Chains A and B, each alone.
Chain A
Amino acid sequence: QVQLVQSGAEVKKPGASVKVSCKASGYTFTNYYLHWVRQAPGQGLEWMGIINPSGGSTNYAPKFQGRVTMTSDTSSSTVYMALSSLRSEDTAIYYCAKLAAGSDFDLWGRGTLVTVSS
């Protein structure tokens, strides 16, 4: 079964860091780039960045540059997204996704809720 399975919800204090995982299965992990997209409560979708699971090259949205780190572990077919210096505005559902980007293959995880609260 083709799927992306994300780690569970997190509650963090302002200033802390969070690391969310996303495990791919049912397809060849290294064949497709994976993206991270977040959605604050009641808000729209916000693209954070992209990682090539084969080799680990990344491209981050300018807004997150310096605070986000995306990594890949080919041995476990898992990508990770770490966000540091958390603030209340980072409270959101974080999705990993294989975005279609010109193809018919579009796949999303269920999302991971990260709550930042003192």
Chain B
Amino acid sequence: EIVMTQSPATLSVSPGERVTLSCRASQSVSINLAWYQQKPGQAPRLLIYGASTRATGIPARFSGSGSGTEFTLTINSLQSEDLAVYYCQQYNDWPYTFGQGTKLEIK
């Protein structure tokens, strides 16, 4: 099973900041990686697939990069509505696995 490790677990941020979230895979997943955003009481929402392709309707301030085992989600000019938990997920091999999440909270 591929283990996905996200860091940090929690990030205190201010609106307008540039935020970088990390995700590491225990073995290569190529670019078969997605990023999800989840707000309280809601199902996850797809942000990025293929490591760097924004999903339809996702603002340009969200960007993804990386390949192999190291991935990054960057949020430029953080908005208050971006406060949420972010998960990476690999779909290179079954079982598909999620990272444990990074929670963005107000500084």
Contacts and interface: CB of A to CB of B under 8 A. Distances in A.
B99 A44 contact: yes
B98 A47 contact: yes
Contact of A47 (B38, B43, B97): B97
B65 interface: no
For chain B, the bracket of interface size reads: 20 to 34
Given A46-B98, A47-B96, A99 B91 contact: yes
Interface string A60-78: 1110000000000000000
Interface in A54-109: 59-62, 95, 97, 99-104, 106, 108-109
A37 B95 CA distance: 11
B44 A108 contact: yes
Given A45-B87, A100-B34, A62 B46 contact: no
A44 B87 contact: yes
Contact of B95 (A62, A99, A102): A62
B46 A47 contact: no
A13 to B, nearest CB: 27
Contact of A45 (B1, B32, B44): B44
A109 B43 CA distance: 7
A109 B96 CA distance: 18
B87 A103 contact: no
14 contacts: A37-B98, A44-B87, A44-B98, A45-B87, A47-B98, A59-B95, A95-B43, A97-B43, A102-B49, A103-B49, A104-B55, A106-B34, A106-B55, A108-B44
Given A45-B87, A47-B97, 14 more contacts: A37-B98, A44-B101, A49-B95, A61-B94, A61-B95, A62-B95, A100-B34, A100-B46, A100-B49, A100-B55, A102-B32, A106-B34, A106-B45, A111-B43
Interface of A: 35, 37, 44-47, 49-50, 59-62, 95, 97, 99-104, 106, 108-111
